[in-house]
Amino acid sequence: MTDIHPLKYLQIALVLTGLMFVAGIYLLMIVWPSGWVWHTGHSNYPPMIIGIYATLGIFLIIAARNPLDHLSLIWFTVWSSVVHGGIMAAQSFTSAGSAGHLLGDVPALLVVAAVLAVLTPRGEKVRLLRGML
């Protein structure tokens, strides 16, 4: 039986999340605008949000090399995703025509937050893993 590196699943999740942030959000905005774009017509919003998330995605991919050295970035991603998803959920109830977001970007952000939170070590486990590596 082979031993799996204790951070392997977190590393995979960071790379997949990073790739989704780098390219996936843009593609979903084109393919499924009712679940991923908050403005109709011309808007400065899409390039701004794509730029922010693509940048975060690149740094998450870099963090995957050694997640223990990037815990603050990972926890920023977790908590900013919860906050962003929560705000978007509230706005989708009050903005006409925004209910599609409850099936699109809102749950996507909450899933990202949950997966990274579950896989990211905390407290004593971080100290033990640092000692192993």
Place of tokens 């922010």: 52
State the pLDDT at residue 100. Answer: 84
The pLDDT of residue 52 is 95
Q: What is the pLDDT of residues 116-128, one digit of tens each?
A: 999 999 888 878 8
Instruction: Tell me the CA distances in angstroms from 41 to 33, 46, 70, one per residue in order.
Output: 11, 11, 38
Amino acid at 67: P
Mean pLDDT over 2-20 rounds to: 89
What confidence tens digit (pLDDT) does each residue in 33-73 have? 888 877 777 888 888 999 999 999 999 999 999 999 999 99
pLDDT tens track for 88-112: 899 888 887 777 888 889 999 999 9
Please, which contacts does 105-114 make with residues 24 or more away whose CB atoms are closer than 8 Å? 105/25, 105/28, 105/35, 105/36, 108/20, 109/81, 109/82, 109/84, 109/85, 110/81, 110/82, 110/85, 112/17, 112/20, 112/77, 112/78, 112/81, 113/77, 113/78, 113/79, 113/81, 113/82, 113/85
pLDDT at 2: 53
